[in-house]
Amino acid sequence: MRVSTIFASLTIVLLLASQSWSQTAVNESFPYPVGSYLDTLGTAGNGWGGPWIIDTSNSHNYNLSVVSDTNFDYVDLPYAYAHIGNNLMCTAPGNWASARYFRPLAQTWPDAKGQYWVSYLFQSQKAPSGNTYYLLKLFSNSTELVAFGKGGGGTTYTCGSGWPGGSGADVSTVQDQGGPVWIVAMVNLTGDATADANARTFLWLNPDPSKTPDTNKADVKRATNLSTGFNRVAIEFGGADTNILGYSEIRIGSSFTDVSSSLVTTAYKTTESFNYATGADIVGSGDATNGWADAWHLDPGDTGVSDSLLWATTTGIDYTMLPYAIPHAGNICYGSRPGSKYTRIERTLDKVWTQDTNTTFWFSAVMNLSDDTSSSTWAGIKLAQDHTDAAIMFGKGYGQDLFTVGGGYHASATDPECSTTTWDVGPVWLVGEFLNQGVGNQSRVFMWINPNPAKQPDSTKADARSFAALKPGIAYVRIEYGGGIPFEMAVDEIKLGLTYSDIATGVKLNNSMLPSKMALSQNYPNPFNPTTKINYSVPQSSLVTLKVYNILGQEVATLFHGQQHAGNYIATFDASKLASGVYLYRLEIGGISITKKLVLLK
């Protein structure tokens, strides 16, 4: 570990008289033998006053923390952290049991004018309930001053007391969904004990390590009594539920650099949750942070776009209709296109995602389309290299009533770029994968609709597939929609990453929306001319066939044949080339079939 000490050039007498102090950045990287219990580990030195010890005043005193070289998913952090030692694996026992460990500092960090910064890496194996707490705390002797982490009473990250509840000044809006997070806090001191009894304190979750985070954008803003300074650090966890926790790279210093200097900012991971004011124009929203280089703006390469036609709203996507529970923060990007116009807006990534050989990019977004009745419309999210047409679009392509991937225009529904899922199924979770073959070569691109979030989807079972030759890679993300008639589009939670877990972490099964059995509904309208809709349900991932026959049993149309995930689906039957009469439609899943009648009346 590194210790950097800055001494004033004055004498010790003047140093004490002016209440200046010896700044020492301290780190805990847990460089101890794997399998060692935390109690008694560490020695005096490098800013520490002694080893970790179990708090004997705590009601349970369980020794539940072991040094580990696994169980911490560093690769799932938004930035690459140069972790030095091992990590601390803690077992939260549940049943309201708890554990607390102290480590003394070599000296009291006093109430002096300046800033104290604290950071650490934390991970919970699963999303917790409100009846749990996992924290890093600062103490003055036996007095608790402030706690950073997931406090009790709620499911979000907090800063303040150890049990702040689910709302209030101590509580952020960032849910602990399970998985790793970089927690950073700062206390701003004046050096006046009276004022510092309410010292301004800020907490951020996964801030950009390349620059000091903005206090105006802190996830928590509150006051802390640090008028006596602090001299001990504590790790504490407990509550009603069991969980496996990880702590790594605890750092305390007097500047943001002290706690962030080993972070690598070239990690590839970006999210857009449209966390802007309700009613705000998406154009002009956003800033240069978290993987982005600027705000959303009109595409300067397209002179036909006159306005954005996209706003931040609270409506447009009914998340309860998705087969999975997808975490979403902020508002939704919504647009209502008035028929004769189209729009294309874009946002620049903070670096080009180069298509290096044998690398993989992952993309996901939630999308919903409504009031669209024409194949002459298009709507989607494009990943682009520049301001030309060199882009790959995920959404509804022009020429079809289906979700597609590729260039945006699709002449035939049998094109591999076309899925069999029609635009009117309701909200969908679109997932894409780029298998890169090197800069200048075409990358294989796959798209899935509502894949299982628990495991990486199989490319051989992708709903659609295409190629992309984006030289040298992806530089822009665009949202685009238009066509010949009015319709509505909503998108949310756009994510880019290097692994499937980058985009799927936190996405969980929404069992209430998954069908429990195979079902085939009566078509509507019925009688019809010339198109009708057919709803059906698939209870588990299966080979599905939906066909239409005439009254003699002769096949006249195949509406779907292929693998489908568990969920509810809508098929469209176009009988414009058939004669009036009674027809049969049959759904077959796993050797079981259901047949119903429909009537074409011209």
**pLDDT tens-place string over residues 412-470:** 888 999 998 888 878 999 999 998 776 566 789 999 999 988 889 999 999 999 988 77
Tracing tokens 């607390």 back to the chain, one arrives at: 100
Amino acid of residue 117: W
Residue 61's pLDDT is 59
**pLDDT tens-place string over residues 46-59:** 999 999 999 987 65
CA distance 599 to 602: 10
pLDDT exceeds 70 at position 380: yes
Beta bridge partners of 362: 433, 497
The three-class DSSP label of residue 501 is helix
Per cent of the chain over pLDDT 70 is: 89
- Tell me which fold the domain 25-264 belongs to: Jelly Rolls (2.60.120)
Residue 583's pLDDT is 97
Residue 160's pLDDT is 93
Note whether 72 and 180 are within 8 A (CB): yes
Give counts: helices (H), strands (E), the chain: 3, 43
Q: Which of 563, 151, 575, 569 is closest to 323 using CA atoms?
A: 569
- Tell me which fold the domain 514-600 belongs to: Immunoglobulin-like (2.60.40)
- Tell me which fold the domain 269-511 belongs to: Jelly Rolls (2.60.120)
Q: Which of 296, 285, 421 is closest to 348 using CA atoms?
A: 296
Note whether 6 and 23 are within 8 A (CB): yes
Q: How confident is the model at residue 250 (pLDDT cuts 50, 70, 90)?
A: very high
CA distance 291 to 256: 19
pLDDT exceeds 80 at position 79: no
Residue 290's pLDDT is 84
Bigger pLDDT: 338 vs 191: 191
**pLDDT tens-place string over residues 305-317:** 656 689 999 999 9
Amino acid of residue 511: N
Is the bond into 472 cis (omega within 30 degrees of 0)?
Answer: yes
Residue 9's pLDDT is 32
What is the mean predicted confidence (pLDDT) over 153-166? 92
Token reading at 379? 């709507």
**pLDDT tens-place string over residues 102-138:** 999 999 999 999 999 999 999 999 989 889 999 999 9
- Domains in the chain: boundaries: 25-264, 269-511, 514-600
What is the mean predicted confidence (pLDDT) over 13-30? 57
Residue 136's pLDDT is 98
What is the mean predicted confidence (pLDDT) over 307-328? 87
Task: Say yes or no: do domains 25-264 and 514-600 share a fold.
Answer: no
**pLDDT tens-place string over residues 178-210:** 888 999 999 999 999 999 999 999 999 988 787
